[in-house]
Structure 1
Amino acid sequence: MGDSGDVIAELTSDHREVEELFSQFEGTPPDSEERKRLADEITIELVRHAVAEEEHLYPAVREHLEGGGVLADREIAGHERVEQLLKELEGRESGDLEFNRLMVKLRTEVTAHVRDEENDLFPRLREGVHSFILESLGRKVREAKKSAPTRPRPSAPSTPPAIKLLAPGLGLVDRTRDFLTGRGQGRP
């Protein structure tokens, strides 16, 4: 995904990439291998993005924004809904009617989450947090995505310190499993 800039630019770049993957998904025929591959790509990107936000962005939101605890909790609840949908998708074939229903639900949930972040959270961060901190968070988020898990785990912890301790190990397991199965090949 993104490779430079502050946390807002980084996460906005992630949002555009996932939107593009959803568009590609919608342009593929039902029951195609390409559709399943794109669903896997969407899952990988959403999980990596969510873990990086939970490790670094939301703790900063709690610390630096008035009412940040409530805001962070709301965003994490959105992540939990997305992760549950991703978990339900796991292992389903692209021709399965439930697969298609879940993908529509997933896109709806992700679109609402992105809109909320970009229209509410990001402007509040831009206004209330020093640019140095936003730049530092951007670097931390980029680094976190490199070692983040790639598979959904709705019951895993979503707040530090547990997520910071568990995510790299789970990420290694996931990337090994992805390599062995060919899932997400061609991605960083």
Structure 2
Amino acid sequence: MTHGGTVIEELTADHREVEELFAKIEALPPGHEARKQYAERAVIELVRHSVAEEEYLYPAVRSHVVGGEALADRELEDHKGVERLMRDLEGLGGEDPAFDHILTSLIQEVRIHVRDEEDNLFPRLKEVLPPPELSDLGGKVRHAKKTAPTRPHRASPHEPHALKALAPGVGLVDRARDAFTGRGKVEEEPDHRGEAQP
């Protein structure tokens, strides 16, 4: 799915990208080293996505959607649960039996969260915000993802103002660490004809 457009289009594109990574993980046997690589890539995308939602989407939901406070609070609780699973996954090797168990839980939790956002939150936001405001939020979310952290941090705030102040600096450090270690890079595997497959 193409990025750009409204906040709903942008975040839905993120959901599809993460689902593609999950499908690649599920297509590989337990213990396969590429599962770890795809999982790291998924965590990077999920953290960036979550930070952007917490900075811009949920404040908009609180301000504009009837019952938005409770709705945003529930979504934030989902984020905290997913974040715990991502932290538990960090440091585990792909061959560790706990890795597959935690990864399966993470995939399930994310899928439930995505379904809830797409079936409930996004339509409600679309009903109350005009297209120009949804597009403006889309631009803010895209910008936030570019500077967001790429790792789950134990002491990470979930309040929009704190995130906007701290996330770019933490994100810079995370991206430098990722570049140095190669985290999130997926080695291409040859297919049966010897051609690289994404």
Please give the TM-score of this superposition, normalised by the length of structure 1: 0.96
Counterpart residue number, 2:193: none
**Which residue identity is paired with 1:55?**
E
The equivalent residue for 2:86 is 86
2:51 maps to: 51
**Contact 1:54 1:158 survives alignment (8 Å):** yes
Alignment of 1:35 onto 2:46? no
Cα separation, partners in 2 of 1:65 and 1:154, compared to 1, 3 Å: farther
SS in 2 for 1:155: coil
Larger Rg: 2
Other structure's SS at 1:77 match: helix
Please give the root-mean-square deviation of Cα atoms over the aligned residues, in Å. Answer: 1.2
List gaps (5 residues or longer) in structure 2.
187-198
Identity %: 56
1:109 aligned residue: 109
Cα deviation 1:62-104 (Å, max 9, x = unaligned): 1111111111111011000000000000010111111000011
1:138 counterpart = 2:134: no
Alpha-carbon distance in 2 for matches of 1:113, 1:81: 10
Provide the rounded CA distance (Å) in 2 between the counterparts of 1:132 and 1:14: 21
Q: Which amino acid is the alignment partner of residue 89 of structure 2? A: L
Q: What is the distance in 2 between the residues matched to 1:121 and 1:2?
A: 21
- Structure 2 distance, partners of 1:39, 1:185, is 10
Please tell me the residue identity of whatever aligns with 2:65. Answer: L
The amino acid that maps onto 1:18 is: V
- In 2, Cα distance between the equivalents of 1:102 and 1:154? 17
AA in 2 matched with 1:168? P
- State the 1:181 CA deviation: 0.2
Distance 2:127 2:61 in 1: 12
Return the alpha-carbon distance in structure 2 between the equivalents of residues 155 and 128 of structure 1.
Answer: 34
Distance in 2 (alpha carbons) for counterparts of 1:157 and 1:32: 34
What letter matches 2:3 in structure 1? Answer: D
- Deviation track 1:104-132 (CA, whole Å, cap 9, x = no partner) reads 10011001100100000011011111111
Q: Residue 185 of structure 1: CA displacement?
A: 3.4
Runs ≥4 in structure 1, deviation > 2 angstroms? none
Q: Which moved more, 1:151-160 or 1:129-138?
A: 151-160
Whole-angstrom CA distance in 1 between matches of 2:112 and 2:99: 20
Correspondence for 1:151: 151
In structure 1, runs of 5+ residues without a counterpart are none
What's the secondary structure of 2:160's corresponding residue? Answer: coil
Q: For 1:12 and 1:145, how far apart are their aligned partners in 2?
A: 14
Equivalenced residues, count = 186
